[in-house]
A and B are shown apart, each in its own frame.
Chain A
Amino acid sequence: MPWSPTHPPEGAGSGAATGARPLLELDKLSCHYVSSKGTRVVRAVDDVSLKIYPGQTLGIVGESGSGKSTLALTILRVLPAAARIVSGRMMFEGEDLVEKSDEEMREVRGKRIAMILQDPMASLNPLFTIGNQVAEPIWVHEKTRKATAFERARGLLKAVRIPSPETRVTQFPHEMSGGMRQRIVGAIGISCEPRLLIADEPTTSLDLTIQAQYLNLLRDLQKEYGLALIFITHNLGIVAKMCDQLAVMYAGRVVESGPVSQIFNSPRHPYTQALLNSIPRMSDTRQRLTAIDGQPPDLAALPRGCSFAPRCPSAFDRCHESAPPEIYPEEGRTARCWLAAPRAEADGSRAALSGAV
């Protein structure tokens, strides 16, 4: 099939080479927060399409409030009461998670898709021993005897490099250091050997050396267990180190996605360019840090056109009039920008693109 910038190529992404089926495929997923009277709609996740293949790491970056965390909660279907999945599909190992009942979702959570929360320091119940908490998902999901679950919990603590796990299992969370608690939360995440692990800013509350340790650990675990990892962060340095694929979110939408190296080398979306420019560098001789001017838009009152247009240095008339659809500037990449179409075809395809809006 000839490659075209307006139609998604078959099996886009690096998994296409191996012919593997995506582990998780989000297809035009939208999740909105609706106020109780239905008068205010916040488009927290809007028309998101992403794929992740087994063993791959997908980084999701974006500013606070860009919908990263809501996206993670949507995948696990643990949304607050006000949130609604408005449209789209989430195909996970051939099953649509949107269609599943709450009861069926409980079988998925923790067992097939696990999650590490934003503040792992507070993720442990202060009243239970470490062993109890690491073993809990095992006996909840696999209905094993508690002794077996505890045995496995000890093994998991060893896997996350907790020294002397035999004594640690009987201790309480407040007896651990921050880095240890973090690794324990990691151990809980992988306790049922999930296929997909979602890490929502797992390192923001840690100091830098512990961060590095933890990221290495996550990578090792990923290799060992063949995990796919969704890594939500706003640290582009971590993305460069950890991830194969990257999705940049802005105002609830994925504005750019593709292999990390390609995006870092030639960002197509002005927002991605601005993000990359805002990383402080040692070689930088300028006195001020580069910031992106303006504020992210109110998700309840998005501009008519591209939501980044008011802050975009290269916006032109069309950007303010209509929102760009997802286009495919290169194989395996997407961008939501009128300027992202390959130069040679840009002029020719504009007519076709406007028809797609």
Chain B
Amino acid sequence: MSTPSDVIALPSSLSERRFRIRLGDFPLIPALILFTVAFVALFANFLAPHNPEIGSLAARFKPPVWMAGGSMEYPLGTDQLGRDVLSRLIFGARVSMVVGFTAVIFAGIVGTTLGIVSGYLGGWVDQVIMRLTDTWLALPPLMFAIFLAAIVGPSMWNIVIILGLTYWTRYARVVRGEVLSLKEREFVRLAIVAGCSKWSIMWRHIMPNIINSTIVLGTLMLGVVIITEATLSFLGVGVPPPEPAWGLMLSDGKQALMVGRWWLTVLPGCCIMLMVLSANLLGDWLRVKLDPQLRQL
């Protein structure tokens, strides 16, 4: 509802808005979280107080430092094998970062390329690619990923390929739709009558116009991919056990949760949630910034 005071306050609110868009709209907290995760992943070797894969059975199920029985030696407690949870979270960030980003980029490149080719060329090329996409989408993604994991065996890089192959269809669908509307736009027609080849039109005129959508989709997919990676690890077909992945930690901690050892599941769960949320918020900001018509406001 607009009240008279709103109307009078218009000039100041306008300048306020401009100020906010210039300086205040950068998602500082999500960026900091992602930056921290990236930093931690990069320097895990130096930051982690303990070896994440070797624990001492004498120090099993130590609670975090602020609880009774906790000690500074294991600030976030230890798990059922006496491994330091903090160290495992730190090394787990590396797995999530690498798997998340590479899988999203891999899926993005495959899906976007197929989407552009399919949408722009049309005809039988479109038919083949889109029917393939339909079939792919009809497979339950998790089942499909487990199926692939069973074939190629669990390893971190196999997980990247599996996730890429599972999720490229989403890009292909979205991108094809955008291309269908873009190719009717006048500037694409102008490029055609100016004698540009099909490939240069796709590369120079279509692709830059859909990159926004793919980045936004990518940030959403980052969340999905990280969760799927965690799920696969949780189900035991993801990153193989000694390596510390967040999903694996959730899986390992689920029995301990029943007897009140919450730190084994809640902490990696929070890490996953914060990272996914940050990626989504940052992606939203990026979408606005990448549009030349919006970025100068």
Contact = CB atoms under 8 A, between A and B. Distances in A.
Q: Do A and B interact?
A: yes
A329 B187 CA distance: 43
B190 A109 contact: no
A212 to B, nearest CB: 23
A256 interface: no
Q: Determine which residue in B194, B196, B209 has the highest number of CB atoms from chain A within 10 A of its CB, and name it.
A: B194
Interface residues of A, number: 30
Contacts of A120: 186
Given A127-B208, A128-B208, A174-B292, A106 B187 contact: no
A4 B209 CA distance: 58
A114 B186 contact: no
Contact of A107 (B186, B187, B195, B204): B195
B24 interface: no
B195 A117 contact: no
Interface string B99-134: 000000000000000000000001100000000000
A128 B190 CA distance: 14
A81 interface: yes
A152 B197 CA distance: 22
A140 B195 contact: yes
Given A122-B186, A123-B190, A106 B208 contact: no
Given A107-B195, A108-B195, A122-B185, A117 B190 contact: yes
A123 B197 CA distance: 17
A136 B185 contact: no
B51 interface: no
Contacts of B196: 106, 110, 136, 140
B200 interface: yes
Contacts of B186: 117-120, 122-123
A180 interface: no
A5 to B, nearest CB: 38
Nearest to A175: B296
B18 interface: no
B193 A106 contact: no
A137 B187 contact: no
A206 to B, nearest CB: 15
A277 interface: no
25 contacts: A76-B193, A78-B189, A78-B192, A78-B193, A81-B123, A106-B195, A109-B192, A109-B194, A118-B186, A122-B185, A122-B186, A123-B189, A123-B190, A124-B187, A124-B190, A125-B187, A125-B205, A125-B208, A126-B292, A126-B293, A127-B208, A136-B196, A137-B195, A140-B194, A174-B292
Interface of B: 122-123, 185-187, 189-197, 200, 204-205, 208-209, 292-293
Given A123-B190, A124-B190, A126-B293, 17 more contacts: A76-B193, A81-B123, A106-B195, A106-B197, A108-B195, A109-B195, A110-B195, A114-B193, A117-B186, A119-B186, A125-B205, A125-B208, A126-B209, A126-B292, A127-B292, A137-B195, A140-B194
Give me the 6 closest cross-chain CB pairs, A-B, nearest first.
Answer: A110-B195, A109-B195, A110-B194, A122-B186, A115-B193, A125-B187
